[in-house]
Amino acid sequence: MWLLTFFCLLIGVLIGFQLPILLPVIYVKYMSIGVLAALDSVFGGIRAYMEDSFDNIIFISGFVTNTLLAAGLAYLGDRLGLELYLAAVIVFGSRLFQNLGIIRRYLLKKY
């Protein structure tokens, strides 16, 4: 199953490279925050899946709202002249590591 997930990620990357989309430079920052939020959601989902507390609705809604909120926060920060995106970077970054650590422990316990 995990192999399949990884395969999906690869296919996504391939599609992304083929897509003729080029974001304007000003939006690159927001997109990168969005990517970070999405990464966090995915790891959170995998962790929940392993803990058997996975809820489909929570996962999908978390993915969408986190991504949009992070990008929106970065945008708001730019308007306010405040580097608000750092808040998103720190929160998502630390959560990423946390989730990764838990996933690692589960895997080690399992095998």
63 binds other proteins per the rule CB under 8 A: yes
Among residues 11, 82, 100, 107, which is the contact residue for other proteins, using CB under 8 A? 11
96 binds other proteins per the rule CB under 8 A: no
Which has the closest alpha carbon to 41: 20, 58, 19, 63?
63
Which span sits near other proteins by CB under 8 A: 54-62, 72-80, 82-90, 99-107?
A: 54-62
Tell me the C-alpha distance between 75 and 64, whole Å. Answer: 17
Neighbours of 85 (CB within 10 A): 21
Q: How many residues bind other proteins (CB under 8 A)?
A: 36
100 binds other proteins per the rule CB under 8 A: no
Which has the closest alpha carbon to 95: 53, 50, 41, 59?
41
Tell me the C-alpha distance between 72 and 62, whole Å. Answer: 15
Q: State the nearest-atom distance from the C-beta of 1 to other proteins, in Å.
A: 6
Amino acid at 72: G
Which span sits near other proteins by CB under 8 A: 39-47, 72-80, 83-91, 95-103?
A: 39-47
Q: CB nearer to other proteins: give 17 or 111.
A: 17
